[in-house]
Amino acid sequence: MRKISLRVRLLGAFALILLLLLGITGLVLDRNFATSSVASVETELQANIHALLFALENPKGGGMYLDDFAEPRLFREDSGLISFILDSGNRELWRSMSASGIDLREYVPSNPGMLINVSRAGNSLDSPFVASLTIGWIRFGVSQDITLVMVDDATAFIERIRDFRWILFRTLGLSGLVLLFVQVVSLHWGLGPLREVIRELDQIEHARQEKIEGEYPGEIAQLSTRINLFIENERKNLIRYRNALGDLAHSLKTLLAEVTIMTGASDSTDRRRLGEIAEEMNSIVEYQLKRASSSEYSVVHKAVEVDKTILRLDRSLQKIYAGRNVKTEWNLEPGAIFYGDESDLFELLGNILENAYKWTRTRILYRTSSIRSPSMIHPGLVIEIHDDGPGINPDDHDEILKRGARMDERAPGQGIGLSLVNEIVARYQGTLEIQSSHLGGAVVRVEVPAQ
């Protein structure tokens, strides 16, 4: 399973935090505005109650003549503001023109008091506001309790809330997008050194430079320094291993030459024994020299064109086996690349092709293809070498990959070719398989996974 990138993780975390903060901010601002809007409506209703009370105490022409009341909405139908006056028995004494045709029973207060009381005629946000005040009023020398009622149907209140929410959500949304954009730009800038390190590592992997050379912030500088130390140590170890194997092989070769000279002076039994020792030592020398010539696996890879390597080896083998009249067939993917050490590919293909030429009758088929993976940087590679020779018994496929194993003792060689190929392939986490070919002989299949 592919891991989530650092950029996506940071952006995801920031977006989640931003969404949470903006959501809480929007909720708090919305509730505060709603609370202040409710308080504003209540204050306005209380002021209108006081104005109505003042009009009653200072009537024009006497009586309950309120047509000149200062609030113009009371004299306009569908204005959203209505008023009426009830006696102690909840009988209507007066209603404003704006209350014409409206059933006032749902607005009659259940517990009117001597102080102005503002309540809602329901539990929803759009429930009307009802303000009431009970006073003692003297009319025609008779004192009675009357209740002044002022009702706001909350239409203007709802519109204010709706307008505020639209502005709020639009502002918060735009602010969120701006902050997210700023975060993307900041991340791009902040992760720049990491991208540069990756670019330099790619250059090192393709042998275009030897170490990380850029100057980086302290946090990354420690990493780049340790990577450089690792690369340098790997190069030193590689040289040391090569030299050690080369020295060992050449030392044995000197002894081998001496033993060969001795075979000429000894009796037949000793000569035969010395010949066996010489052959065994020669096998060891050949194997160690080939191991020394093929480098140990390195983190520094080079892109090697497979078709050119096969063509180069095939031309050489055509000259060596010119008398065999071998015909080669080509089914190579254009641009197929082996990412690794060029000497490894040369050693790998050289051994396989040499075996194919050694055992084929008349035909050899070369086939290559790439293995692509979206999660990997470099594609993998499949190489197949077919021949029409006698083939290999399926029971012997595993045995032939062991060092020194030979299915036919009459054939020249020490039996180390395919074992060396298997060793090289294993260094790249690949697989080597021997199967039956449609040409009638064997097919050696090498698969190197994507990296």
pTM above 0.85, yes or no: no
SS3 category, 354: helix
Burial group, residue 143, by CB count within 10 angstroms (0-12, 13-18, 19+): exposed
pLDDT value of residue 415: 42
pLDDT confidence of residue 367: 93
For residues 290 and 242, give the distance between their C-alpha atoms in angstroms, rounded to a whole number: 10
User: What integer pLDDT is reported at residue 406 of this predicted model?
Assistant: 47
User: Structurally, what CATH architecture does the domain formed by 301-448 represent?
Assistant: 2-Layer Sandwich (3.30)
Q: Which residues contact 205 (CB under 8 A, 6 or more apart)?
A: 299, 300, 301, 339
Write down the domain spans for the chain. 6-159, 208-300, 301-448
pLDDT of residue 409: 37
Distances (CA, A) of 433 to 382, 422, 443, 446, 447: 11, 9, 8, 7, 9
| 445 beta partners | 384, 433
Closest to 284 in 3D by CA, of 261, 259, 251, 238: 251
Half-sphere exposure of 310 (CA within 13 A, CB side): 24
Amino acid in the structure at residue 63: G
- Nearest Cα to 116, choosing from 91, 133, 129, 98? 133
Q: Indicate the pairing of strand 327-331 with strand 363-371.
A: parallel
Which residue bears the tokens 């497979």? Answer: 306
User: From first to last of its 451 residues, what are the pLDDT tens digits of the chain?
Assistant: 467 778 888 888 989 999 999 999 999 999 999 999 999 998 999 988 888 888 777 665 555 555 555 678 888 888 889 888 888 888 888 888 888 888 888 888 877 777 888 888 878 888 889 888 888 877 666 778 888 999 998 888 999 999 999 999 999 999 999 999 999 999 889 888 888 888 888 887 777 777 888 888 887 788 888 888 888 877 777 777 777 676 676 666 666 666 666 666 556 666 666 666 666 666 666 656 665 555 555 555 678 899 999 998 898 888 888 888 889 999 999 988 998 878 788 888 988 998 899 889 999 999 999 988 877 777 889 999 999 988 887 776 666 666 444 444 334 443 446 777 888 888 888 899 888 888 888 899 999 888 7
DSSP state of 101: T
Distance, CA of 315 to CA of 306 (rounded, Å): 14
